[in-house]
Structure 1
């Protein structure tokens, strides 16, 4: 996740909630599958969530999708499965697909020193002989960390960020850069410790740009969005019609406070703007070995490698318990291995894109509202409601 205010508490709450109900995919139909509209509407009314969009995928096919509340409360615009909004760190999975496309084309190697691909040098100051690789960037074991005093400045309020990746990244990662400091790296050798890093993901996106010879946003428009018919999706505010984009909100003291639009300098880590309907196609493609309805975005072997859990007892990071957490390439297990996929969190954004490890049941969940940290349980209960509905739909489909 990217935005830090409520995610950690919410994650713990979800983990506690799912421990009692997520184990059985084939839950009986009935109460769990009835009244989903009323249940979600009550959650929204009690918490101040302005808009919610949801999709359920069963056996790699869209089974159900719906929107609730408002994309823009002031103008009375309903939130629908076609409403476009920022999705936060789910964007990293798009960076992951682009990375694997470049790997399968022979332009990149997952295990080569990244300095082979960069016009500036990235060296861990405490471990200068250790190389950093794309695989480490994609599993958050590169040693790069997000120094908040610098990272928070990469949010550009009012529009797309004016600073380029090529300007920001050397300033943060190369010795002598304007934002460089030893504290930009964890005190552990690359490959030995997991530290979630948005800037590391942005660096992976920049390496893809260098390898393919064009910006990530235009490359992925050709190689991901177009084949999957994601016509209203993009990375930048300027790429998405303003009237299609949801307003983002912060719920505070009973009020829904609209936020101004914002862009990200480090956009490969969280810049994608899409809808529940269009993200569902992308998710089905990942769960389906790289293709959706005949459109292929990855070869099967590349998709399998992206989603393969990379840690074993022999190579796991020193701070990881395998039964609780494992990682693919910009892909991970969540909540003690009960789910795989990715989530997102940013100002006014909470999203989930999660499936069973077998991929037979999956959920996409959007909300355009940030809650106070003390209200993080609401997100957990919202996901719980939707997942129970998905289980009921799976059972009914038998």
Structure 2
């Protein structure tokens, strides 16, 4: 087997680790690329006449305290760097070793762990999950329509199960056992994991389903989940800083990032605890996740098998339905296929992407509920490194409207066919403000015309329809949903 050297360039870009030997970093190219990425951020939707910002400027704009990045090029870490504060009050800065909650990225590494059991013949991906569940059995009912749920269903979110995600627990809360989580009994703060529709129909994202796989790993290996994942997955891939322990061990406290909300306020207790380890419990950093990406790329090519063989890596990166693989999503960008996942825990957001065959990749993690900066950094990296399929959209041109042109758009709009889904628009200057009724945050939209609007932070355009008198009657929002204007909306009335 060909031996491939994997250099890691730290923040200072002074040393490289190559084939076990420390050598001087002689290439200025990596530092040049890093500087270009740092200085080339633009809004998710670029605006005509606006310039570019630095990472620090966008962190301040989005009220993001800390951020960490690793970039992969040609199957190696080209550079990694931390920005801002892991904890602002302590003035503890982010380094490449700072640990963030990976949130749902945990599911990707969990997928590796489950496939390793399959590779060893301890489970089969197409067998009824109750074959391997010993401490708890899934309670099938009429909803599953006589079909059995398999591990392949669980990992690809095609099991038709409930419980999208988990809120976590604050410091000092009583933590539920895994069976209490699955049954939705106290002290669990999430509903029971049950069938929502029959397995195999479609992708229905379920962190609850992933938690069933956690129970299977524990029951099959007779080991604590975090111990199995450490010895079978994390350590073999060189992810020495990462762990699934919940709560995290005291010995790692100085490396943990503190979580902050959308407005930059510290979370009560600094972070939440997630006993749903497989779904949301991984603490890690971009450098460690980059090692996972590279190992996956090399294993796909048959160049490495630290955890999974080429055969099982290719199983993991083969779509089951749509773009859903086993613990990963598999979109195509340009001519290249990628494996990727995002993460969203209270106070933390993250994303990783790895080209299956092109040797490219990235990881971005923040200790914030505001994830808008992630896409800006992804776009900057993709453009600096010339990734196919990530070309920037044409800049938008903002027009100035008369007050009456905006005022007719104000009010409540109800989603067609839904009695409890509303959008509420109000005018502020030359902009429309959307108050998201699902979380209370506001999104600002600028006009391209008197009926078309765009947001600088989100790629979700609005297109209004007016009647013959110029009154707004509908809006096409998020490029797919029709919302009808509610005349004489009464907030005290049940609609």
Shorter-chain TM-score category? Answer: 0.7 to 0.9
Residues 346-398 of structure 1 show CA distances to partners (whole Å, capped at 9, x for unaligned) of 11111111123434210011111112xxxx54332232123323438xxxxxx
Counterpart selection for 1:121 from 120, 137, 150: 137
Task: Provide structure 1 residue ranges, at least 5 long, that are not aligned to the other structure.
Answer: 1-28, 312-321, 393-398
> Higher helix proportion, which one?
1
Misfit runs of 4+, over 4 Å:
31-34, 177-181, 290-295, 334-338
Cα shift at 1:33 = 6.8
Q: Does 1:329 align with 2:326?
A: yes
Mapped to 2, the partners of 1:359 and 1:380 lie a distance apart of 21
The DSSP-based 3-state class of the residue aligned with 2:226 is helix
Structure with greater contact order relative to length (CA < 8 Å, sep ≥ 6): 1
How many corresponding residue pairs?
335
Taking only aligned residues, the RMSD between alpha carbons, in angstroms, comes to: 3.1
Alignment of 1:25-36 (within 5 A): 35-36=36-37
Mapped to 1, the partners of 2:291 and 2:356 lie a distance apart of 18
Mapped to 2, the partners of 1:77 and 1:180 lie a distance apart of 37
Cα shift at 1:295 = 6.9
The DSSP-based 3-state class of the residue aligned with 2:152 is helix
Residues 294/377 of structure 1: CA separation in 2 closer, same or farther (3 Å cut): closer
Residues 156/105 of structure 1: CA separation in 2 closer, same or farther (3 Å cut): same
Counterpart selection for 1:165 from 170, 173, 178: 178
Mapped to 2, the partners of 1:361 and 1:216 lie a distance apart of 31
Residues 114-147 of structure 1 show CA distances to partners (whole Å, capped at 9, x for unaligned) of 1111233321432351111000001101011117
Counterpart selection for 1:112 from 116, 122, 127: 127
The DSSP-based 3-state class of the residue aligned with 2:266 is strand
Residues 242-301 of structure 1 show CA distances to partners (whole Å, capped at 9, x for unaligned) of 01101111132xx44344222113111010001112121112111211799967111221
Residues 360/309 of structure 1: CA separation in 2 closer, same or farther (3 Å cut): same
Task: Provide structure 2 residue ranges, at least 5 long, that are not aligned to the other structure.
Answer: 1-29, 40-53, 388-495
The DSSP-based 3-state class of the residue aligned with 1:369 is coil
**What TM-score do you get using the length of structure 2 for normalisation?**
0.62
Alignment of 1:1-398 (within 5 A): 35-38=36-39, 39-119=54-134, 120-122=136-138, 123-146=140-163, 151-152=166-167, 155-158=168-171, 162-169=175-182, 171-172=183-184, 184-186=194-196, 188-236=197-245, 237-239=247-249, 241-252=252-263, 255-260=264-269, 261-289=271-299, 296-311=306-321, 322=322, 326-334=323-331, 339-371=338-370, 377-391=372-386
Aligned partners of 1:56 and 1:390 also within 8 Å: no
The DSSP-based 3-state class of the residue aligned with 1:354 is strand
**What TM-score do you get using the length of structure 1 for normalisation?**
0.76
Mapped to 2, the partners of 1:76 and 1:109 lie a distance apart of 49
The DSSP-based 3-state class of the residue aligned with 1:62 is strand
